Structure 1
């Protein structure tokens, strides 16, 4: 059976004025994968995400989403995105968890249409999927950073996207809850079948959860399955990162 890809990048290069940020990137993400995208600060990870989301146009190369060239792609509701929101969220914002999650349906359904019974059920299912059912009526400003990030993920998945992109979602999450957070992402990938792209600095944790790893530092130094990535020595990783690197496991 031929592999189905949700994202394909071929010969993608991007520069800001004279500074090259991405150079000849080849990246293919198969349907159902959990890809960890790692690399040092300034390596081009955020720029790559902006290219995938259509916010930036590469000077060279081609990007396809679900087999469609990005220039022709219209079904953006098939993609969910979660940024580092918990770190900068306005805690005084007057909305409940339910209302924040429900707002994720507007892109797919339109701004002024009434919610149907199915819509309301989808909101409750999304809240349940991230383990926040007990907080559905709570004001989002009363939640911890990690809880807020769970709500933002529920908002991103309420329209049932096929691809979920997360840009360092554990920023602002208490270190004691990070492992539970990754377990939740693993559950979304395994149980709901959502393809995930996770940008993170936490190399040790992702190798225990993801199916594939891409190591970016302007060039794509590694792109393959997680078990292949784990076989790389710290010397090879340090060469990718440009400085000494020690991989820590979080299993204990």
Structure 2
């Protein structure tokens, strides 16, 4: 596989806060079109790694390449979409419809005060439809459930057609009965729209059924390989990665 087919590449990355080592010697490659699940216990460095990938933190050692370009030289940030955990800072009383929230995802591409062309308006509708929220297109964002709001935030992230979509525990706040449908939607985005996905999650049982690759992080990268290989690990091996006993539950379909 040549470098052009690697969306994200991390080489020998280490990061520390003051004297505390959070990440040590991380090496990771994410091929184009893959769906990577990033798992690990609380405090394992997952959020720190995401911040490094998004250029918000600078590692002490190592290099990050985005689409073959060192992050220090990377300018095409519109190629990357990001969805955080349910935006607790988001004011659900803000008077904006689903359409308006998703359309705001084009701001970085078009500028703050540009009017949307017919093509861009259609892109907004397509993004809303892709996450199954078209029936709510004119609904106020504050009237939606937590899971529906997360779908809208994902539509906002994909409206500019990113090549890589990073999701930080997007099922936080999603009703447990709708989590499977949520993962099905991500699977559709990956398979049918060809978006490369990087998903941070605690839900090991579900992701091994949906993702193509898994990376298990706990300061070090303890596992990085195909989902089928990860699914074959026993509880003892997983417990060694996590530092405590772990039992994986499978979800019924």
TM-score (norm 1): 0.98
Q: How far apart are the structure 1 equivalents of 2:252 and 2:191?
A: 19
Please give the residue correspondences for 1:58-207 in structure 2 after superposition, counting only pairs within 5 Å. Answer: 58-207=59-208
Q: Secondary structure at the match of 1:71?
A: helix
**Which residue is equivalent to 1:224?**
225
With over 3 angstroms needed to count, the CA separation of the structure-2 counterparts of 1:152 and 1:100, relative to structure 1, is: same
User: Once the 2 structures are TM-superposed, how far is the Cα of residue 142 of structure 1 from its aligned partner?
Assistant: 0.1
RMSD: 1.0
Deviations 1:142-170 (A, max 9, x none): 00000000000000000000000000000
Q: Is the Cα contact below 8 Å between 1:8 and 1:64 reproduced in 2? A: yes
User: Once the 2 structures are TM-superposed, how far is the Cα of residue 87 of structure 1 from its aligned partner?
Assistant: 4.6
Q: How far apart are the structure 2 equivalents of 1:138 and 1:29?
A: 36
Deviations 1:171-219 (A, max 9, x none): 0000000000000000000000000000000000000000000000000
Q: How far apart are the structure 2 equivalents of 1:125 and 1:168?
A: 24
Q: Is the Cα contact below 8 Å between 1:86 and 1:148 reproduced in 2? A: no
Q: How far apart are the structure 2 equivalents of 1:86 and 1:59?
A: 29
Q: Secondary structure at the match of 2:72?
A: coil
User: Once the 2 structures are TM-superposed, how far is the Cα of residue 114 of structure 1 from its aligned partner?
Assistant: 1.2
2:49 aligned with 1:31, yes or no?
Answer: no
User: Once the 2 structures are TM-superposed, how far is the Cα of residue 29 of structure 1 from its aligned partner?
Assistant: 0.2
2:2 aligned with 1:2, yes or no?
Answer: yes
User: Once the 2 structures are TM-superposed, how far is the Cα of residue 110 of structure 1 from its aligned partner?
Assistant: 1.1
Q: How far apart are the structure 2 equivalents of 1:157 and 1:230?
A: 29
User: Once the 2 structures are TM-superposed, how far is the Cα of residue 247 of structure 1 from its aligned partner?
Assistant: 0.5
User: Once the 2 structures are TM-superposed, how far is the Cα of residue 90 of structure 1 from its aligned partner?
Assistant: 2.0
Q: How far apart are the structure 1 equivalents of 2:100 and 2:209?
A: 34
User: Once the 2 structures are TM-superposed, how far is the Cα of residue 86 of structure 1 from its aligned partner?
Assistant: 4.6
Q: How far apart are the structure 2 equivalents of 1:192 and 1:82?
A: 17
Q: State how many pairs are aligned.
A: 252
Q: How far apart are the structure 1 equivalents of 2:115 and 2:128?
A: 20
Q: How far apart are the structure 2 equivalents of 1:125 and 1:189?
A: 15
With over 3 angstroms needed to count, the CA separation of the structure-2 counterparts of 1:180 and 1:88, relative to structure 1, is: farther
Q: Is the Cα contact below 8 Å between 1:77 and 1:108 reproduced in 2? A: yes
With over 3 angstroms needed to count, the CA separation of the structure-2 counterparts of 1:88 and 1:175, relative to structure 1, is: farther
Q: How far apart are the structure 2 equivalents of 1:92 and 1:196?
A: 30
Q: Is the Cα contact below 8 Å between 1:38 and 1:216 reproduced in 2? A: yes
Structure 2 gaps of 5+ residues are none
User: Once the 2 structures are TM-superposed, how far is the Cα of residue 85 of structure 1 from its aligned partner?
Assistant: 2.4
**Which residue is equivalent to 1:51?**
52
User: Once the 2 structures are TM-superposed, how far is the Cα of residue 251 of structure 1 from its aligned partner?
Assistant: 2.8
Q: How far apart are the structure 2 equivalents of 1:88 and 1:56?
A: 21
